[in-house]
Structure 1
Amino acid sequence: MLKIEIPKSKEKIKGQIEALKYQLTQDSRNIDKQIHEQALKRLEEAFKTI
């Protein structure tokens, strides 16, 4: 399982979400896409709870 360090600031989480969404458009390897998708999902969940 991937360990994600969730920032405490909603603005930082939002910035990371935007960066990951962009990175997903650039990823060419499946493993990179899987890692970034997992991180994005967890950050989006954290964003909703803050």
Structure 2
Amino acid sequence: MRAWKGMDWDVMNRLHEKGYIGNPKSKAKSVPLTEEGARISEALFKKHFGLSS
């Protein structure tokens, strides 16, 4: 899973330091999400955009 690098560089660096994304300092236009980053993003998506029962 990959994420676009359209965010502020300070934000990208903090996400990388926490282990949620790969190193943003590359020529690629996207960065890979780590397993933990993907797990957390899925949980947050379900929390904020999932259907409530």
Normalising by structure 2, report the TM-score.
0.34
Q: Which has the larger radius of gyration?
A: 2
Larger relative contact order, structure 1 or 2 (CA cutoff 8 Å, min sep 6): 1
Q: Which has the higher helix share?
A: 1
